[in-house]
């Protein structure tokens, strides 16, 4: 069958969509469809809680209703979420969704590092925790060299001096500081 | 004159001047490092500024905001990698000039164009301030509600090709603003019986997560890169002098940047688009655009540097942030119980003028710094990206934890970091979440106040400014839909 005889919506022999069909066949980014589904799922979950988690109070003006703005927001999320899902479904599929999701999961390791660092600050103090985190991260990232370890330690010291000693940002001393004599403990708590 | 003297008096304090210098030098540096950028730096610095007077904190943040685009031009021109996203257009003409051995000329043109635009927009705004002082009080609750609604519409429509995603994110932001205790009847909304949710979701934690932690995750996950930039030889002055031959392009681009900056939700990209298109259409050598055209370089750099000062207008005059960075700055006002809006122009005009003068000084300081330190900044560009990721991750902790010394805030910021990471990976917009969160709260409060004073829906727009804003919303939606339809047709053909 010649190309001229191919119906517009039918695929060509090469497997590519026929010209009129192409407007619908944007290529999907890896991870786009899973994200669209996740977002819709989240919006639907919020919608299912709209009646219980936000109140409509009888005999109160509509513009004063506590549930008005959550409802506007959730209906907006649903409206745009549906459009986004349709657009994703109509696009040409990606075979790399799984790999992309694994990348999202891999990022959680560093979220773990971040939370562990935050916990360590309360235990061993801001300076030791920052120093330790920077040095271990540089090692974990595979960029450890004498120079990078030096700069990691210098950076950690600089951050603590700038934020805690100079700007006096409110970060309490670590529990470890309690092991020191009172004067040293006070000094460490104020500056490090 | 009294206002000006009072403004100078506000500025003439060592803390303000130190904030100005630290902010502007810091802004140039973070702007020059690809992968950091002003949102990350402002998100990290924000909580640290709460300890200072509003003028000191705002000057430091304005310093970062206003100078980052100067710094962003350096890697854009020298290594074809924009330091900040708004410098992307600069690569088109800046990098080809570097390839021809004209790096100093390109940097001179970029610095000169940025300075002219920055100074132009500040001078315009100082001249405009008395007019704003008269107009701003005409904005009551309904006008501010409509202006915020216009901001939401514009931020969605300004994301051409991504309007649906921008809409999703804007409404998600509006939803986030509603979580917690509602201020009139004190009922809980979407708290799920959790006390930490009943307090609401903190804007700073969201900002830190979406901008700083997410960027750190991107840098940590992606392969390590170490950009290399050759030293710049020669003087920048010839490029700056050449600017005199392109006064028209610099002037029009600066004016476009100033106008676009004032409009909430529009910002640098639209300003650059219009300026660049104008420069190309009116050029005697349009074929040079994209191959090292000085006019193209001037158009992109002037347009983006005129925006920061102008973007302060809706924030100061109406209390409505036009984009993510001014939304972050809004929290500095809130922390100090200063309410930006019409009252600020009526009662504290000296404060407003002081901020504008600080912006003017900032441009002078940045230009002087760049003229002597460009080659030093090149060393900073060469920091390995993974090291940078670790540094940003560590810095992100300060802001999240210092708010209330709560690990929960850190966990919330980390959660939004993951959301931001996924959005960055998918190339989806983040800014609409922040604007939705800030403008959503403003709209809710203003609608309640405004509706108490009107009898019916039509009364809502029976004042001239309200009617104009309402008509603008309809017009912008119609134009946006038309342009989306035309884009779709063009792609189909």
Query: Please, which residues bridge with residue A27 across strands?
Result: A92
pLDDT at res. A13: 43
A169·B51 Cβ contact <8 A = yes
Domain chopping of chain A, boundaries: 3-90, 108-191
Q: Report the gap between the CA of A185 and the closest CA in chain B (Å).
A: 19
Give contacts of B437 with chain A, Cβ < 8 Å: none
A96 band by pLDDT with thresholds 50, 70 and 90:
confident
Chain A CB contacts of B201 under 8 Å are none
Does the distance separating the beta carbons of A103 and B221 come in below 8 Å?
yes
| Contact criterion met (CB < 8 Å) for B387 and A143 | yes
On chain B, the residues whose CB falls within 8 A of the CB of A60 are 185
Q: Which residue has the higher pLDDT, A64 or A48?
A: A48
For residue B384, give how far its alpha carbon lies from the nearest alpha carbon of chain A (Å). Answer: 9
In chain B, the residue whose alpha carbon lies closest to the alpha carbon of A120 is B407
How confident is the model over B181-214, as pLDDT tens digits? 987 788 899 999 898 899 899 888 898 899 889 9
Sequence-separated (6 or more) residues with CB below 8 Å from residue B2: none
- ipTM metric: 0.86
Q: What is the SS3 string spanning chain A?
A: CCHHHCCCCCCCCCCCCCHHHHHHCCECCCCHHHHHHHHHHHHHHHHHCHHHHCCCCCCCCHHHCCCHHHHHHHHHHHHHHHHHHHHHHHCECCCCHHHHHHHHHHHHHHHHHHHHHHHHHHHHCHHHHHHHHHHHHHHHCCCCCHHHHHHHHHHHHHHHHHHHHHCCCCCCCCHHHHHCCHHHHHHHHHHC
B174:A156 CB<8 A: no
Q: B217 and A23: CB-CB below 8 Å?
A: no
Using CA coordinates, name the residue in chain B closest to A154.
B391
The neighbouring-strand residues paired with B188 are B181
Percentage of chain B beyond pLDDT 90 is 29
User: How many CB pairs below 8 A link A and B?
Assistant: 191
| Per-residue pLDDT reduced to its tens digit, B206-260 | 988 998 899 999 999 999 888 777 788 778 888 888 888 899 999 999 999 998 8
Binning pLDDT at 50, 70 and 90, where does residue B145 land?
A: very high
Inspect the interface and report whether the beta carbons of A35 and B426 lie closer than 8 Å.
yes
Question: From CA B38, how far away is CA B30, in angstroms rounded?
Answer: 7
Beta pairing partners, B181? B188
Could you tell me the pLDDT band of residue B68, with boundaries at 50, 70 and 90?
confident
Please state, in angstroms and as integers, the Cα–Cα distance from residue A95 to each residue in A85, A101, B443, B481, following that order: 17, 12, 42, 32
Mutate to test the interface with B, among A70, A74, A126, A174 (most CBs of B within 10 A): A70
How confident is the model over B414-434, as pLDDT tens digits?
Answer: 999 999 999 999 999 998 999
Instruction: Report CB contact under 8 Å: A111, B170.
Output: no
Interface test with B, best of A26, A111, A161 (most B CBs within 10 A): A111
Select from B171, B398, B410 the Cβ nearest to the Cβ of A73: B171
Q: In this complex, do B414 and A114 lie within 8 Å of one another by their Cβ atoms?
A: yes
Question: Pick from A77, A103, A152: which is nearest to B171 by CB?
Answer: A77
Whole-number average pLDDT of chain B:
87
Nearest by CB to residue B390, choosing from A53, A103, A141, is A141
């Amino acid at each position: 069958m010649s190309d001229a005889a191919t119906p517009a919506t039918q695929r060509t022999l090469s497997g590519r969509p026929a010209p009129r069909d192409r407007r619908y066949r944007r290529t999907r980014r890896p991870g786009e469809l899973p994200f669209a589904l996740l977002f819709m799922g989240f919006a639907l979950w919020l919608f299912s809680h709209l009646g219980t988690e936000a109140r409509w109070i009888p005999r109160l003006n509509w513009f004063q209703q506590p549930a008005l703005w959550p409802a506007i927001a959730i209906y907006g999320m649903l409206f745009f979420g549906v459009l986004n899902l349709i657009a994703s479904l109509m696009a040409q599929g990606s075979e790399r969704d799984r790999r992309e999701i694994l990348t999202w999961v891999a990022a959680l390791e560093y979220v773990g590092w971040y939370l562990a660092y935050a916990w360590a600050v309360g235990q061993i103090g801001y300076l030791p925790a920052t120093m330790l985190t920077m040095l271990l991260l540089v090692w974990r990232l595979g960029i450890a060299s004498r120079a990078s370890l030096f700069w990691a330690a210098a950076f950690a010291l600089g951050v603590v001096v700038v934020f805690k000693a100079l700007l006096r940002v409110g970060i309490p001393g670590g529990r470890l500081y309690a092991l020191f004599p009172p004067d040293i403990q006070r000094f460490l708590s104020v500056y490090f | 004159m009294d206002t000006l003297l009072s403004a100078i008096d506000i500025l003439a304090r060592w803390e303000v001047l130190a904030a100005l210098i630290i902010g502007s030098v810091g802004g140039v540096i973070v702007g020059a490092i690809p992968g950091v950028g002003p949102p990350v730096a402002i998100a990290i610095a924000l909580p640290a500024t709460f300890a200072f007077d509003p003028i000191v904190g705002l000057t430091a943040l304005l310093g970062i905001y206003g100078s980052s685009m100067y710094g962003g031009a350096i890697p854009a021109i020298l290594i074809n990698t924009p330091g900040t996203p708004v410098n992307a257009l600069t690569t088109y003409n800046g990098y080809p000039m570097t390839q021809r051995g004209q790096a100093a000329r390109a940097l001179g043109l970029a610095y000169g164009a940025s300075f002219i635009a920055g100074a132009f927009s500040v001078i315009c705004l100082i001249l405009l301030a008395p007019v704003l002082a008269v107009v701003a009080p005409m904005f009551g609750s309904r006008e501010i509600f409509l202006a915020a609604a216009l901001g939401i519409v514009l931020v969605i429509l300004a994301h051409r090709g991504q309007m649906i995603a921008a809409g999703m994110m804007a409404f998600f932001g509006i939803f986030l603003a509603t979580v917690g205790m509602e201020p009139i009847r004190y009922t809980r909304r979407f708290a799920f019986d959790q006390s930490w949710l009943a307090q609401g979701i903190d804007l700073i934690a969201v900002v830190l997560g979406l901008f700083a932690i997410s960027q750190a995750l991107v840098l940590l996950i992606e392969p390590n890169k170490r950009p290399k930039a050759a030293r710049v030889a020669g003087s920048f002055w010839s490029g700056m002098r050449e600017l005199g031959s392109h006064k028209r392009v610099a002037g029009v681009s600066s004016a476009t940047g100033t106008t676009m900056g004032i409009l909430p939700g529009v910002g640098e990209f639209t300003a650059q688009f219009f300026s660049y298109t104008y420069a190309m259409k009116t050029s005697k050598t349009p074929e040079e655009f994209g191959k090292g055209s000085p006019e193209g370089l001037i158009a992109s750099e002037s347009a983006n540097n005129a925006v920061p000062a102008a973007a302060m207008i809706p924030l100061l005059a109406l209390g409505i942030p036009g984009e993510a960075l001014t939304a972050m700055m809004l929290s500095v006002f809130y922390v100090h119980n200063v309410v930006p809006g019409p009252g600020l122009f009526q009662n504290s005009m000296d404060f407003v003028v002081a901020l504008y003068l600080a912006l003017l000084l900032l441009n002078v300081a940045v230009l002087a710094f760049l003229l002597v330190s460009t080659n030093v900044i090149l060393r900073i560009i060469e920091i390995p990206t993974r090291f940078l990721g670790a540094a940003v991750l560590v810095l992100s902790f300060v802001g999240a934890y210092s708010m209330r010394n709560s690990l929960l805030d850190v966990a919330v910021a980390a959660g939004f970091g993951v959301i931001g990471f996924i959005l960055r990976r998918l190339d989806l917009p983040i800014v609409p979440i922040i604007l939705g969160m800030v403008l959503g709260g403003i709209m809710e409060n203003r609608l309640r106040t405004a509706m108490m004073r009107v009898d019916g829906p039509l009364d809502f727009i029976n004042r001239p400014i309200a009617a104009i804003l309402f008509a603008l919303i309809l017009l912008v939606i119609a134009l946006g839909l038309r342009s989306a339809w035309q884009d779709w047709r063009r792609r189909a053909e």
